[in-house]
A and B are shown apart, each in its own frame.
Chain A
Amino acid sequence: MATRKTAKKTTQRKNLYLALTIAFFLAIIAIFIIDGYMGIYDTVTITTQEREEVIEPDYWSSDYPQYTWVDEGQDMNFRYELDNRRFSTYSAEAEAAIWFGETKQEVLLTQAVAIGGFDKEELSWTIDTSALRPADIPENQDFEFSVVITRDGVERRIIVRVSSPPIRY
């Protein structure tokens, strides 16, 4: 009788460990889905000259700033894609602007977005780099500016280096 009771207890404990293993595994999967997949993800695609650069959402978590470059006089086309991986609608005021250091130079775009659950929206704008050179920087010197995208307290900064045209003698 006592042996049967002990065997039953052992089986129950075994099943408990198996149930806990499965529960922990499911909890890990749930964390991966809720914390890892769901949320608001933004991707920036820059097209200029003959190349296209894509800044994926995970790049933003990096400690290093995002850099790109362009030859002076070329247009830069920006595509900003917002991916709402949530059940609710995401509403925000998105703004893209050109900054020189701590000074806002030009607002490129201001748009209110309302993206439905598991939907995407794309904003786009173009920067003409021929009219951006600050007055205090000589013609043959490269310069930098930042494209700052803000929405709902989130800031994305892309530093653009503009190469000056070669000197013709």
Chain B
Amino acid sequence: MKLEYILFGFGIIFCLAGVGYLAAQYVKYLSEWGQLVSLLLTVGMFTCLGKYFEGVGW
């Protein structure tokens, strides 16, 4: 059971690293407006995710 959680943890880290790498590669092709809106959406996304986990009881 613990091993499964460790593997899930690794999976999540690799996914986030992959998405982060792709975002870092592609963000230079975005216009300034695109970058600004993406930043605001990212902040909104993490806020909502935090509120969701708060609701779940984490």
Indicate if A21 sits at the interface (CB-CB under 8 A): yes
Chain A hits for B34, CB < 8 A:
31-32, 35-36
Chain B hits for A35, CB < 8 A:
29-31, 33-34
Interface string of A20-44 (1 = CB under 8 A from B): 1100110110011001110000000
- Give how many A-B residue pairs fall within 8 Å (CB-CB): 56
Indicate if B15 sits at the interface (CB-CB under 8 A): no
A134 → chain B, closest Cβ, in Å? 37
Q: Is the CB of B45 within 8 A of A28?
A: yes
Q: Is the CB of A36 within 8 A of B27?
A: yes
Chain A hits for B26, CB < 8 A:
32, 36-37
Indicate if B56 sits at the interface (CB-CB under 8 A): yes
Indicate if B21 sits at the interface (CB-CB under 8 A): no
Indicate if B23 sits at the interface (CB-CB under 8 A): yes
Chain B hits for A20, CB < 8 A:
44-45, 48
Which of these binds chain B: A9-17, A98-106, A113-121? Answer: A9-17
In the complex, residue of chain B having the shortest beta-carbon distance to the beta carbon of A34: B34
Question: Which A residues form the contact surface with B (CB < 8 A)?
Answer: 10, 13-14, 17-18, 20-21, 24-25, 27-28, 31-32, 35-37, 57-58, 61
Question: Which B residues form the contact surface with A (CB < 8 A)?
Answer: 23, 26-31, 33-34, 37-38, 41-42, 44-45, 48-49, 51-52, 55-56
